[in-house]
């Protein structure tokens, strides 16, 4: 049986960041990816936003790692030449009853050390975004956008430059704990068994299946998985926006965000609905709800302006009816102190802000793997 030091399961943005950090810490790393390329699922189907860290409950791991990760990510992208822009975001209140929601973001941000938010009146918001109709807004200057694929390639390059190896089409189909680590059964064209001193399960949408396939992993510590699908529509003409624009929260209502890519293309989304599995089918019937949502703050949107974009699925740990601030939607990172398997770290619920927080998540995991050695 082949023996390796560290196996990182999953070559999405979080898995690659962890592999990079482990390799740079002097560990021998093999990245096991079931697909034939890196970052083909959640990491490739998101809004590419660098989040500020103002939407998470006080004390949430998401908030702490988002804020730390944001600072690290901006520095990393600047140093490595990864495409990004700190364009800022406006959170807009379309009517007077929504103004109180803006203060909630200030409170949530302050709980995680975000103190650069600024309240705007309608005229100030209009000066920043002339097409946006609102009664007030909140400006988040540290929100930005990033080229997620270039970021993943950079993480992979760093990892490989420090000796890491990427194994594509290498799905983990089972495993078992022993006194010295974990034996993984790896399928694919070159099926094998490998003994690993350290295993980091960063398999994203597949993380629960991988954890459950490892003998000795307590079933009660594997959280449920809910497949939360989001649709994105593109604007079929030049974007009138210079910033990201998010409407305030309305319970049970679609909030279609304005997001921009580095080429200036505008898209709206995501919404939130539920699937029974990984199914990226685009439900075009959602178009009407998008028009209604967007026109609350962008009334100049014309019929025919929206065109079908893409969908993405988030690995949520809380299902229908849960709010963003529900503690059940926080990141869950479990090591041997929780589940008793020496050398194993499981990451569950690695949805947004996973991309923003990726470097901070990697540091958090490396601390735990070093403690287990």
Question: What DSSP string runs through 169-227?
Answer: S--EEEEEEETTEEEEEE-STT-EEEEEEEEEE--GGGHHHHHHTEET--GGGS---EE
pLDDT of residue 364: 97
Write the pLDDT tens digit of every residue in 120-158. Answer: 999 999 999 999 999 999 999 999 999 999 999 999 999
| Range of lowest pLDDT (32-46, 100-114, 151-165, 325-339) | 325-339
Distance CA 160, CA 170 (A): 17
pLDDT (tens digit per residue) in 169-224:
999 999 999 988 999 999 988 889 999 999 999 999 999 999 999 999 999 999 99
- Relative to beta strand 192-201, strand 344-348 is parallel
Q: State residue 328's pLDDT score.
A: 63
- pLDDT at position 252 is 55
Does residue 372 carry a pLDDT above 70? no
Beta bridge partners of 185: 174, 193
Instruction: Using the predicted structure, report yes or no on whether residue 335 has a pLDDT greater than 70.
Output: yes
Give the pLDDT confidence score for residue 61 in this predicted structure: 97
Mean pLDDT computed over every residue of the chain: 94
Q: Percent of the chain having pLDDT more than 90?
A: 91
pLDDT digit string, tens, across residues 64-116:
999 999 999 999 999 999 999 999 999 999 999 999 999 999 999 999 999 99
DSSP string computed for 245-301: EEEPP-TTS----EEE-TT--EEE----EEESSS-----GGGHHHHHHHHHTT-TTP
Provide mean pLDDT across the span 223-245.
97
Q: Are 166 and 11 in contact, with CB atoms under 8 Å apart? A: yes
The pLDDT of residue 373 is 60
Quote the CA–CA distance of 264 and 243 in Å, as a whole number: 10
Confidence of residue 325 (pLDDT cuts 50, 70, 90): low
Instruction: Please give the Cα distance from 207 to 332 (Å, whole number).
Output: 11
Question: What distance in Å separates the CA atoms of residue 40 and residue 34, rounded to the nearest whole number?
Answer: 10
Residue 250 has pLDDT above 70, yes or no: no
Cα separation, 331 vs 351, whole angstroms:
8
Q: What is the mean pLDDT of residues 346-369?
A: 96
Q: How much is the pLDDT for 368?
A: 85
Helices assigned H by DSSP within the chain: 13-24, 61-80, 99-111, 122-128, 148-161, 207-212, 287-295, 336-339, 358-372
Which carries the bigger pLDDT value, residue 32 or residue 255?
Answer: 32
How far apart, in whole angstroms, are the C-alpha atoms of residue 142 and residue 161?
Answer: 31
Average pLDDT over residues 310-336: 84
Q: What's the whole-number mean pLDDT along residues 159-167?
A: 98
CA separation for the pair 191, 188 (Å, rounded): 5
pLDDT class of 251 with cuts at 50, 70, 90: low
Q: Do residues 314 and 42 touch, judged by C-beta distance below 8 A?
A: yes
Q: How far is 70 from 84, CA to CA, in rounded Å?
A: 12
The residue written with tokens 């600024």 in the block is 118
Percentage of residues in the chain having pLDDT higher than 70 = 96
Place of tokens 């998010």: 246
Q: What SS3 class is residue 205?
A: helix
pLDDT at 326 over 60: no
Which helix H or strand E contains 84, and what residues bound it?
A: strand 84-85
Beta bridge pairs of residue 230: 312
pTM here is 0.96
**Which helix H or strand E contains 309, and what residues bound it?**
strand 306-316
C-alpha–C-alpha distance, residues 138 and 296, integer Å: 17
CB 353 within 8 A of CB 51: yes
Burial 342-351 (b: 16+ CB within 10 A, else e): bbbbbbbbbb
pLDDT at 329 over 90: no
Three-state secondary structure call for residue 93: strand
Reported as a pLDDT band with limits 50, 70 and 90, residue 254 is confident
322 pLDDT tier (thresholds 50, 70, 90): low
Judge whether 256 and 262 are in contact, CB under 8 Å.
no
- Give me the helix-helix angle, 148-161 and 61-80, nearest 10°: 80
**pLDDT tens digit string along 289-303?**
999 999 999 999 999
């Amino acid at each position: 049986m082949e023996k390796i030091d560290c196996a990182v399961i999953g070559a999405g943005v979080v898995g690659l960041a962890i592999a990079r950090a482990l390799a740079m810490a002097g560990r021998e790393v093999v990245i096991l990816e079931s697909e034939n390329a890196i970052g083909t699922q959640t990491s490739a189907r998101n809004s590419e936003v660098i989040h500020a860290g103002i939407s998470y409950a006080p004390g949430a791991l998401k908030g702490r790692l988002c804020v730390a990760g944001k600072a690290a990510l901006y520095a990393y992208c600047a140093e490595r030449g990864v495409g990004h822009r700190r364009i800022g975001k406006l959170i807009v209140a379309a009517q007077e009853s929504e103004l109180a929601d803006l203060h909630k973001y200030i409170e949530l941000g302050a709980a995680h050390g975000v103190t650069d938010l600024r309240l705007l009146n309608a005229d100030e918001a209009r000066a920043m975004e002339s097409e946006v109709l609102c009664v007030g807004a909140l400006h988040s200057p540290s929100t930005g956008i990033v080229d997620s694929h270039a970021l993943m390639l950079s993480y992979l390059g760093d990892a490989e430059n420090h000796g890491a190896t990427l194994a594509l089409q290498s799905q983990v189909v089972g495993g078992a704990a022993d006194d010295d680590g974990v034996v993984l059964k790896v399928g694919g064209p070159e099926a094998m068994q490998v003994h690993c001193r350290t295993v980091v399960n960063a398999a994203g949408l597949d993380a629960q299946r991988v954890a459950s396939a490892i003998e000795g992993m307590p079933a009660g510590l594997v959280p449920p998985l809910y497949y939360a699908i989001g649709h994105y529509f593109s604007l079929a003409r030049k974007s009138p926006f210079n910033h990201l624009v998010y409407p305030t929260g309305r319970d049970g209502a679609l909030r279609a965000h304005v997001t921009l890519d580095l080429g200036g293309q505008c898209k709206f989304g995501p919404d939130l609905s539920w699937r029974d599995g990984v199914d990226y089918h685009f439900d075009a019937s959602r178009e009407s709800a998008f028009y209604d949502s967007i026109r609350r703050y962008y009334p100049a949107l014309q019929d025919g302006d929206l065109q079908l974009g893409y969908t993405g699925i988030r690995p949520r740990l809380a299902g229908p009816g849960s709010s963003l601030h529900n503690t059940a939607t926080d990141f869950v990172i479990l090591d041997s102190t929780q589940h008793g398997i020496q050398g194993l770290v499981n990451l569950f619920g690695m949805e947004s802000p996973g991309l923003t927080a990726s470097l901070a998540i990697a540091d958090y995991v490396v601390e735990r793997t070093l403690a287990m050695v």
